[in-house]
Amino acid sequence: MLTLTGVGKRYPTGDRALTDIQLSLPKGQVMALIGPSGAGKSTLIRCVNRLVEPTQGSIRLEDVELTKLSGSRLRHARRSMGMIFQEYALVDRLSVMENVLSGQLGYVGFWRSFLRRYPQEAVAEAFRLLERVGLPHAIDKRADALSGGQRQRVGIARALLQSPKLLLVDEPTASLDPKTSRQIMRLIRELCAERELAAIINIHDVALAQQFADRIVGLRAGEIVFDGKPSDLTSEMLTTIYGEEDWDTTPEPADDDDEESSGATSHVTSPQAATAPHAPRQNRLASGGAQ
């Protein structure tokens, strides 16, 4: 479905962000992309939708070579890639329905969407999608009146309205609480299964990646150093990806009555409990032109 062959990226500054990336994603597969800050995760996702120009290699979506496209053919190809962002990228003053319908922008043309005249079938599909993502009651609300989790659901419905073949998802849970994060990851996973959609999810939370992805790819310094099942992501592999750390231990909760125990002892947890840093960051998928 999506095939990257020998993809490399060197920024004009001289930074080499990706080296010889080989990746093949079948229909319906949910792939989590993990790795430390600066490993190249955003660059990889942005190379696929061509917000960043790869400097080497080939990226094929079905039978289309994405690296060769420009102008209207590139715009057309981008419609088949739905994007979901950490900061949701909604228009605050517009309603939920209008935000979802903006997913049609690539189809209906600027003036028609500017005048907010969307085809009847797009409106009907937007209703169906809002029902599916659990927001049928919020259609007329302004986007800025929603919680983070609800905003992300709108973002998901908007991405699906363009009937994509592939979802590119940038830190979808970075601004959400743990329960809402799980609900959003579960929703993305279910929707991918229902629609045979492939997804690449850039995510810092290793435990969430393990629970909800079919496959995990670990990047380190621009190279793939792990590509396997979530259950194969051992402590040793986490060290390969992130560097040396005691992944199997967590501090015993501090006991106020017993000073000696605080910080001095630890208990063993499963590698699944290991969670890498989880900090919100600027939404760079949404911004700017190709670099």
Q: Which residues bind ligand ATP (CB under 6 A)?
A: 11, 13, 15, 17, 35, 37-43, 281, 291
Of the pair 53, 190, the CB lying nearest ligand ATP is at: 53
Nearer to ligand ATP, 12 or 253 (CB): 12
Q: What angle do CA 214, 219, 221 make, to 5 degrees?
A: 175
Least Cα distance to 76 among 154, 194, 165, 160 occurs for 165
Q: How far is the CB of 11 from ligand ATP (least distance, A)?
A: 3
Q: Rg of the chain's alpha carbons, rounded to an integer?
A: 20
Helix H or strand E encompassing 73: helix 71-79
Q: How far is the CB of 85 from ligand ATP (least distance, A)?
A: 13
CB of 234 to ligand ATP, least distance (A): 21
Minimal distance, residue 43 CB to ligand ATP, in Å = 3
> Of 215, 206, 201, nearest to 235 (Cα)?
206
CA distance 291 to 283: 16
Spatial neighbors of 270 by CB under 8 A, at least 6 apart, are: 248
Rounded to an integer, what is the distance from CA 259 to the centroid of its chain? 43
Helix axis angle for 148-161 and 178-195, nearest 10°, is: 10
CB of 31 to ligand ATP, least distance (A): 15
- CB nearer ligand ATP, residue 39 or residue 191: 39
Smallest gap from Cβ 34 to ligand ATP, in A, equals: 9
- How far is the C-alpha of 95 from the C-alpha of 34, rounded, in Å? 34
Q: Which is nearer to ligand ATP, 41 or 158 (CB)?
A: 41
User: If we measure between CA atoms, which residue out of 253, 279, 288 comes closest to residue 267?
Assistant: 253
Nearer Cβ to ligand ATP (40/155): 40
Residue with smaller CB distance to ligand ATP, 126 or 199: 199
Least Cβ distance, residue 36 to ligand ATP (angstroms): 7
CB of 15 or CB of 65, closer to ligand ATP: 15
User: Among 129, 132, 130, 72, which Cα is nearest to 106's?
Assistant: 72
In whole angstroms, give the CA distance from residue 156 to residue 146.
14
